[in-house]
C-alpha cells in the first residue's frame, strides 16, 4: 500500500509542484496587481473591420447631409450641424492620408447653407440634390433618436443617438435608388449610475456626437476597433 501511494505521488509530483509554485507567485502579488491581471484577462483586443461600403474610393466628390425631425432639432439645435461636420471631417482626414487621389468634398457649412436655402430638399430627388452640390456620392444621415436621458428620468444620464446612413450614387443606373444603407447606434455612458455630479449635459452630448460621427465614417473604410476592458462582473 505504501509503495502504491509513493508511486502515485511521484507520478503527480510535477502537477503538485506547479500548483504550489503558482500559489507562491500569487502570494507575492499585491491586491492591485491581482486586480490588474483580472482586468487584462477581460480586455477586448483591437480587431480589424472591413469597410461596409467602398464606393467613396472611386468617387469624384461627396457631401454629407443630416436630417432630423423638429423635436430633435428643437431639443438639440446643434446636433445636425455637429454630426454632419464631424462625419465629413472624419472622411476627409482618412482620405487625406491615402496615396490614391482624394475625392473632393463639400464643406459642412456649405451643405448646411444649402439645406437652409432649400428647406424642402429632402422631398426632392436625390439626383437633383447631388447635382446642386456638385458631387457623385450623396451621404444622407437620418437621425431617428437623440436623447441624453431616458424619457421621464432627467436625473440619470443614459444618452443614445441612433440613425441610418444612406448613400446615393450619381453614376449608378438610378441616382434616386439607395446604393447603401446601414444603421448606427451609440450610447454613453456605458454604465448606469451617472448624474450631473459625474458629467454635464454638454459633455454627454459631445461624446455621443463624436462616437456617432466616428462610427458613421468608419462604414466607408477599413479600421481597427478600439481595445477596451470589459466589466469584470
Percentage of the chain beyond pLDDT 90 is 67
Chain centroid to CA 78: 19
Query: Cα separation of 228 and 233, whole Å?
Result: 15
* Residue that the C-alpha cell 480586455 belongs to: 43
Nine-digit cell at 19?
500548483
pLDDT in tens, 70-123: 999 999 989 999 999 999 999 999 999 988 777 899 999 999 999 999 999 999
* Residue that the C-alpha cell 477599413 belongs to: 222
Q: Rounded to the nearest 10 degrees, what angle do helices 79-96 and 108-117 cross at? A: 140
At 6, is the secondary structure helix, strand, or coil?
helix
At 198, is the secondary structure helix, strand, or coil?
coil
Residue 42 banded pLDDT, cuts 50, 70, 90: low
What is the mean predicted confidence (pLDDT) over 151-172?
93
- Is 0.75 surpassed by the pTM of this model? yes
User: Residue 122 gets which letter from DSSP?
Assistant: G
Closest among 182, 183, 187 to 209, alpha carbons compared: 187
At 110, is the secondary structure helix, strand, or coil?
helix
Amino acid at each position: 500500500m505504501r509503495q502504491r501511494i509513493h508511486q502515485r505521488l511521484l507520478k503527480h509530483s510535477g502537477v503538485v509542484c506547479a500548483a504550489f509554485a503558482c500559489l507562491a507567485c500569487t502570494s507575492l502579488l499585491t491586491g492591485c496587481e491581482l486586480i490588474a491581471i483580472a482586468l487584462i484577462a477581460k480586455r477586448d483586443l483591437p480587431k480589424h473591420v472591413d469597410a461596409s461600403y467602398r464606393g467613396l474610393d472611386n468617387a469624384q466628390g461627396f457631401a454629407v447631409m443630416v436630417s432630423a425631425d423638429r423635436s430633435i432639432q428643437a431639443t438639440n439645435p446643434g446636433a445636425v450641424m455637429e454630426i454632419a461636420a464631424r462625419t465629413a471631417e472624419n472622411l476627409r482626414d482618412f482620405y487625406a492620408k491615402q496615396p490614391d487621389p482624394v475625392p473632393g468634398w463639400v464643406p459642412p457649412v456649405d451643405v448646411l447653407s444649402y439645406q437652409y436655402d432649400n428647406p424642402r430638399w429632402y422631398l426632392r430627388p436625390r439626383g437633383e440634390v447631388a447635382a446642386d452640390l456638385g458631387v457623385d456620392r450623396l451621404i444622407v444621415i437620418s437621425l431617428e433618436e437623440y436623447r441624453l436621458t431616458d424619457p421621464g428620468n432627467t436625473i440619470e444620464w443614459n444618452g443614445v443617438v441612433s440613425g441610418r446612413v444612406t448613400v446615393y450614387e450619381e453614376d449608378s443606373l438610378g441616382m434616386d435608388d439607395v446604393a447603401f444603407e446601414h444603421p448606427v447606434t451609440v450610447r454613453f455612458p456605458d454604465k448606469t449610475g451617472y448624474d450631473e455630479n459625474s458629467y454635464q449635459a454638454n459633455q454627454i452630448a459631445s461624446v455621443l456626437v463624436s462616437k456617432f460621427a466616428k462610427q458613421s465614417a468608419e462604414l466607408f473604410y477599413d479600421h481597427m476597433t478600439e481595445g477596451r476592458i470589459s466589466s469584470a462582473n
